Amino acid sequence: MDAKDLAKRVAIITGGTRGIGAAIARRFKEGGYAVAAVYHNNAAAADAFSRETGIPVYKWDVADFDACQEGVSRVAKDLGGPVEILVNNAGITRDAMLHKMTPAQWCEVIATDLTSCFNMCRAVIGAMRNRGLGRIVNISSINGQKGQRGQTNYAAAKAGVIGFTKALALETASKGITVNAVAPGYIATDMVGAMSKDVLATIEGQIPVGRLGEADEVARIVQFLASEEATFITGSTITANGGQYMA
């Protein structure tokens, strides 16, 4: 594939303006893709990211089905091609023990972390099937694999992402589309920075490599799964957690 063809390849990274998503967006830009980074509320962070990287940013709520369909159409028009790579990375936490968890905390996490995968995949899958080409990577979590106190909502959503990935991989395997998940352990981003220092210190003590992961250590896996090197990998979940949990 020559550089001209590469330039037409469009990648959407949801939650692509901060943390893990920003590292993924940078990697794809460096790889020659036309990248769109989606954010929701933090316009200041998104603008700063866009200024620094030259990556266009788009504001919509991945929990909103119609917004995803409109957003994907807009990106395809702006960037000059159908979406070839979709990384469903946007996610939130709303932690509480179940006996105190509100319906709003439950629903917001399920909608943002799981229903978003349906909303976004639904928006890109028709064009991918028609072209016979597509790469989808969904970001799950160690806590969807092993559970975590205070995170019934998040663990359910992230475990759901793995089941969703397997089912969609089966549906699309014969269509030139791969669908995989990455389950990171604890990665040094704003999401983890929001945890209490005591809890974080306990968690760091449970990571055999003795440190938090870096966002780019997840980004490199995503880049590989979306590459020509990974054409026979579909329906898989790659874990990257410093040995904290061996699924």
What is the identity of the amino acid at 3?
A: A
Partners of 140 in the β-ladder: none
Q: Looking at 112, 165, 234, 244, which residue binds ligand NDP (CB under 6 A)?
A: 112
Tokens of 129: 């099937």
Q: Looking at 32, 42, 69, 245, which residue binds ligand NDP (CB under 6 A)?
A: 42
Give the total of residues touching ligand NDP (CB under 6 A).
32
CB of 160 to ligand NDP, least distance (A): 12
User: What's the DSSP call for residue 44?
Assistant: H
Give DSSP secondary structure letters for 169-235.
HHHHGGGTEEEEEEEE--BSSHHHHTS-HHHHHHHHHT-TTSSPBPHHHHHHHHHHHTSGGGTT--S
CB of 10 to ligand NDP, least distance (A): 18
**Binding residues among 123-142 for ligand NDP as defined by CB under 6 A:** 139, 141-142
Q: Which residue has the tokens 């959503």?
A: 157
Q: How far apart are CA 227 and CA 216, in angstroms?
A: 16
CB of 218 to ligand NDP, least distance (A): 7
Q: Looking at 7, 48, 92, 200, which residue binds ligand NDP (CB under 6 A)?
A: 92
Contacts of 31 (CB under 8 A, 6+ apart): 6, 223
**Per-residue binder mask for ligand NDP (CB under 6 A), 149-168, x = binder:** --------------------
Residues with catalytic roles: 154
* C-beta of 234 vs 239, nearer to ligand NDP: 239
Q: How far apart are CA 58 and CA 60, in angstroms?
A: 6
Q: Looking at 53, 57, 61, 225, which residue binds ligand NDP (CB under 6 A)?
A: 61
68 binds ligand NDP (CB under 6 A): no
| Contact residues: ligand NDP, CB under 6 A | 14-15, 17-21, 38-42, 45, 61-63, 89-92, 112-113, 139, 141-142, 184, 186-187, 189-192
